[in-house]
Structure formats: C-alpha cells, structure tokens
C-alpha cells in the first residue's frame, strides 16, 4: 500500500460497521498496512472507542462516527460529519476507500419472512448502500476504491436466507454498474463475498453452534469454517495499488464452500 499517492498523506478508509466483526477486522488489517480509518457504529459507542484505540495503537489515526446504515434520511447529516472529521483530523477534503460493510442477518423460511423483516434488510443491505455511496461520492478521491460486501449465499442457496441473499444479489449487480459509471473517475468498485465466518453475525451461529460449524467445514474445500482474519486482510489486499486493474468483480472468500 503506497501511503504517498496523495502528496505526503496516508490513505483514509471509511468502513461502515467498522466497530465489530468483519468490519473491525478489516479496519485493523488496513491500519497494519498504513491506512487511517473512519469507522461507523450503530449503537455501541464503547465498542467503537475500543476499535479506535486499537487502530491508534498501530500508529494510525482513526475516528468513529455513529450511523444507522438503513436510515437514508440521515445520510446528508452523516456526510457533513465525515467532511468535518476529514478537515479536523486530516486537513483533507476527501478519503480514498469506501467499504460498505454494515449489516445484520435474518434467518427465516421464505413463507415466514414478513414485509417488516424484508424492508429492514433492504434498508440496510441495499437501499442504504445505494444512497450512502451516492451521498459520499463527492468525498471519494478520483482513483479511489469502493468495496461492497456480499455473501456466498448469493451464489449457493441455503433455506432461510432468501431475503438476505436477494439483497446481496442486488449489491453484486449494483457493483458492476458503479464500476462502469465511476470508471471515468478512476474509481474501482468490487464485491467481496465471504462464506460462513465464525463471528457474532446472526447470533454467532457459525462460531458457537458446533453442529453448524461442522456442517460448514464438511462443505468447504479447505476443511473448516472461515475466521475474521480470513476476510479483513483479503479486503485490505484488494485495496492495494497492485490490484488497481481489478474492477466490477465479485470475489468470493469462502475457502471453497459448496464448490
């Protein structure tokens, strides 16, 4: 990662949902590569502060901002907060990398998925990503990068994930359109699709339920469930200048699940 692309300034990444799980792991992986971080959190301020402290301990700058990633009406104010943070912390007007990571899970059979559940998932995983990216576009450097987080569930089907997976499928199509439309600005846009990862996502099922963990391992080419450290460093490496020619792609990091 070249920290000097914009003069003598380090690169800055904005990661939604960066206070926990894969977002936090990505933030730490980027900090280890010399990237500063703006992370968002939904409600747990203490967790966000701890993530900021961990990044600062690695010698990088970090700021935590509150964001409800499904509340489109708040995005104008949030963009103003990002602009203020850039000016205050970095004396900059733009950042380099946007990682649309924030999200929640929902597991229910198709026949039992309610409109309320569907709308909540859509607001965070699709509508929110669409309009947050739109709001932040003026603050992203030409030549910057966007990574949208999808899921292995957009490729293979597991009962109970129809609504969640459909949103991720929409994100994968959106990624290709963004890559095409933002190409003239030199902005590369890609999708990273994790497989089943042992985190607190969806109540920590993969991490804490031995039967689910064994099932995942048995259906994964590399023979185990994924770990956060399998994903964060991979996203960080995708943002490296060595991958500048990769855009409009869906890259699955699942250890070869359901091949």
Catalytic residues: 164
Contact 130, 172 (CB under 8 A): no
Residues 6+ apart with CB under 8 A from 13: 27, 30, 35, 36, 37, 38, 95, 96, 97, 98, 99, 239
Strands (E), the chain: 12-15, 36-41, 62-66, 95-100, 140-149, 188-194, 250-253
Residues 6+ apart with CB under 8 A from 236: 1, 26, 29, 30, 32, 33, 35
Instruction: Tally the C-alpha atoms within 13 A of residue 208's C-alpha that lie toward its C-beta.
Output: 7
Rg (CA), the chain: 18
Other CB atoms within 10 Å distance of the CB of residue 66: 15
Q: What is the DSSP letter of 12?
A: E
Q: Give the Å distances, CA to CA, from 179 to 14, 154, 183.
A: 18, 19, 6
């Amino acid at each position: 990662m070249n920290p000097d692309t914009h003069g003598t300034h380090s690169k800055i990444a904005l990661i939604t949902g960066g206070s926990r799980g894969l977002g936090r792991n990505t933030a730490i992986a980027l900090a280890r590569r010399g990237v500063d971080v703006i992370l968002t959190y939904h409600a747990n301020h203490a967790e966000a502060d701890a993530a900021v402290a961990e990044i600062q301990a690695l010698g990088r700058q970090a700021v935590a901002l509150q964001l409800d990633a499904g509340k489109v009406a708040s995005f104008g104010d949030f963009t103003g907060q990002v602009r203020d943070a850039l000016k205050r912390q970095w004396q900059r007007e733009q950042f380099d990398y946007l990682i649309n990571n924030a999200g929640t899970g929902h597991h229910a059979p198709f026949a039992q998925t309610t409109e309320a559940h569907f709308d909540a998932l859509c607001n965070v995983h699709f509508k929110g990503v669409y309009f947050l990216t739109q709001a932040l576009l003026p603050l992203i450097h030409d030549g910057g990068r966007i990574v949208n987080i999808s899921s292995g569930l957009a490729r293979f089907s597991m009962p109970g994930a129809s609504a969640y997976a459909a949103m991720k499928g929409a994100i994968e199509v959106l990624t290709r359109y963004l890559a095409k439309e933002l190409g003239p600005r030199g902005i590369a846009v890609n999708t990273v699709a994790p497989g089943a990862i042992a985190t607190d996502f969806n109540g920590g099922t993969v991490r804490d339920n031995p039967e689910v963990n064994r099932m995942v391992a048995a259906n994964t080419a590399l023979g185990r469930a994924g770990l956060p450290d399998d994903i964060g460093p991979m996203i960080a490496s995708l943002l490296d200048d060595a991958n500048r020619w990769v855009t409009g792609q869906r890259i699955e990091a699942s250890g070869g699940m359901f091949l």
